[in-house]
Amino acid sequence: MAAVWEMGATSGPDGIAATRRVLASLGLPAGDPGELPSSPLRFADGAQWRVEIPSVEGPAALRAVLDEASARRVPVHRVSQGSGLMMLTAGETAEMVELGRTWGVEVSLFVGPRAAWDVGVQATTPSGRVASGSLRGADQVVYAVEDVRRGCERGVRSVLVADLGLLYVLGTMRARGELPEDLVLKISSSLPVCNPATARVVEDLGATTINLPVDLSLAQIAAIRAAVSVPLDVYVEAADDFGGVVRHYEIPDLVRVAAPVHLKFTVRNAPGIYPSGGHLAAVAEATARERVRRAELGLSILERYYPGASATPAATAKASGTRR
């Protein structure tokens, strides 16, 4: 027989304790940890960390990243793009896929349609910006799925998803065999995953890797790590329009607490380039190279303060390890 619930039966300190017990019964952390625990989880190859270079807007920018990473011997394991699959020609998509395959670099491309580019206005308002990556209406969901299907036909095996419903659809299609079984569904930071419960939801819906908001504390990240097993993607440096955080000295703790983790490096004080194109080619390539330099700076701190942290080997750093 179901228990009878009474309003006010638990309140104050007793209510907090009861709520923490509920969370624990769901297998979720009952609060942010006071002491930062070390994550026992790893990538499939046993590594704790990998490097992601975001905002790589097309083949030329990708070639710039690979060239700069090779020159600096910086390991690059993944690049991501923000303009969307729909802003790349078939040839450009195929070229990025082939460059990634040649270098052993995951190429993750954003699903094209999103609210910020739709006919609505809420996503562009101060209070509505959190929904900028969402899909408005059934047609936009159809367009987004088509964007992914076209990308998969061109060899794409990693896409950024910024809408919860789209994640559900893509995860279901992948499970049914209607999309490639090795398709990576990478949660965008435009779909805020700010707590352990939300992280568990997106993991259950099929997320392969979760991009966290740029401003979570180490304790908040640790709580999310305790709730999910998929890799976390964390901005070490974020663009100005995402808050512009720079947390290089936290990298050792980020790796220890969040493993397996993709360390993401972008550039502060740089112009926005979404959606990109030939008119912004010089900026896209220059900022792509600077992101690699930022990664070199950040990894030098990781090497100094956590020299035993393990990384996935990368072709871009095959000369003799990361240059200092």
CA distance linking residue 311 with residue 76, whole number of Å:
10
Residue found under tokens 């509505």 = 128
On whether residue 25 sits in a domain, the answer given is: no
Q: 262 φ, ψ to 5°?
A: -95, 120
The residue segments making up the domain with residue 306 are 38-317
Q: How many CB atoms lie within 10 A of CB 151?
A: 25
What string of pLDDT tens digits covers the 324 residues of the chain?
455 555 555 556 677 899 999 999 999 999 999 899 999 999 999 999 999 999 999 999 999 999 999 999 999 999 999 999 999 999 999 999 999 999 999 999 999 888 777 777 676 666 556 567 889 999 999 999 999 999 999 999 999 999 999 999 999 999 999 999 999 999 998 899 999 999 999 999 999 999 999 999 999 999 999 999 999 999 999 887 777 889 999 999 999 999 999 999 999 888 787 888 888 788 889 999 999 999 999 999 999 999 999 999 999 987 444 443
On whether residue 79 sits in a domain, the answer given is: yes
Question: Is 323 in contact with 73 (CB distance < 8 Å)?
Answer: yes
CA distance linking residue 64 with residue 51, whole number of Å:
16
Give helix 196-204 / helix 164-176 axis angle, nearest 10°: 40
On whether residue 139 sits in a domain, the answer given is: yes
Its sign, for the CA torsion 225, 226, 228, 229, is: positive
Question: What domain count does the chain have?
Answer: 1
pLDDT at position 5: 56
On whether residue 26 sits in a domain, the answer given is: no
Q: Could you please report the per-residue DSSP string of 95-155? A: HHHHHHHHHT-EEEEE-S--GGGSS-SGGGSTTTGGGTT---SHHHHHHHHHHHHHHHHTT
Query: CATH number of the domain that 258 lies in?
Result: 3.20.20.70
On whether residue 13 sits in a domain, the answer given is: no
On whether residue 31 sits in a domain, the answer given is: no
Identify the CA nearest to 262 among candidates 290, 226, 298: 298
On whether residue 241 sits in a domain, the answer given is: yes
On whether residue 167 sits in a domain, the answer given is: yes
Nearby residues of 297 by Cβ (< 8 Å), 6 or more positions away: 248
CA distance linking residue 105 with residue 97, whole number of Å:
9
Per-residue 3-state assignment (H helix, E strand, C coil) for 61-77: HHHHHHHHHHHHCCCCC
